[in-house]
Chain A
Amino acid sequence: ETGVTQSPTHLIKTRGQQVTLRCSSQSGHNTVSWYQQALGQGPQFIFQYYREEENGRGNFPPRFSGLQFPNYSSELNVNALELDDSALYLCASSYLGGAGNYGYTFGSGTRLTVV
């Protein structure tokens, strides 16, 4: 098992800038999900990528976008950053098969601060 690696671990950006966060997928997994966790709150689902396509999206505006690559790693892009985007961004890889989504493995997160 390689686990899930997120980069960078910490990031400070200015309001209005754009940011790209990265997430590797655990070996054998085919799905990556992204979550935003504000301080003191539970994670909120942003979107999920399966086989390089978006496979569900939470209540986040279009300036949150993503990509999944052939090796199942993924990027989260946020344009026109707002102060409220400051949060911990978590990704999780899993295996989506006929019987459902299994083996959720989480990364350590990227803490984004928007100033």
Chain B
Amino acid sequence: KNEVEQSPQNLTAQEGEFITINCSYSVGISALHWLQQHPGGGIVSLFMLSSGKKKHGRLIATINIQEKHSSLHITASHPRDSAVYICAVSLYNTDKLIFGTGTRLQVFP
């Protein structure tokens, strides 16, 4: 079993839909990261969370430390949101990053 699990693996949506991507982890963490990877390969850091909720534009990330679960929400989705969204956790005792396998999102006009 992977230490970081994401669901769904693949997601398609129509423009304007509300999207939720989930991440569960089984290790002690100091922080959780949501990352966006476009087809070219480069990764952009969206959020770093250790508790509660963060919002940036149409993106919202939440984390429940007790349940070891985080969600990334995209409101009013747009085709330019199409990318792979990766959840990664910083291990509590080492701060090393462990990544989930990603959620491939496609938003159609």
Cβ A48 vs Cβ B96 within 8 A: yes
Hey, which chain B residues are within 8 Å of A37, CB to CB?
41
- Please tell me the number of chain B residues within 8 Å of chain A, measured between CB atoms: 24
Binary A-proximity of B25-39 (CB < 8 A = 1, otherwise 0): 000001101010000
Q: Quick one: which of B42, B94, B101 has the most chain A CB within 10 A?
A: B42
A33-61: CB near B (< 8 Å → 1, else 0) gives 10101001111110010000000101000
Measured CA separation A13–B88 after assembly (Å) = 30
How far is it, in angstroms, between the C-alpha of A96 and the C-alpha of B101 when the chains are bound? 25
- Which of A43, A48, A96 is within 8 Å of B99, CB to CB? A43
- Taking a contact as CB atoms under 8 Å apart, the answer to whether B96 and A104 are in contact is no
Question: 1/0 per position for A77-99, CB-CB distance to B under 8 A?
Answer: 00000000000101010001000
Inside 8 A of A105's CB, which chain B residues have their CB? Answer: 45
Chain B stretch 88-104: residues in CB contact (< 8 A) with chain A: 88, 90, 94-102
B40 pairs with A56, CB closer than 8 A: no
Q: Which of B44, B48, B86, B94 contacts A56 (CB 8 A)?
A: B94
Query: Is the CB–CB distance between A45 and B98 below 8 Å?
Result: yes
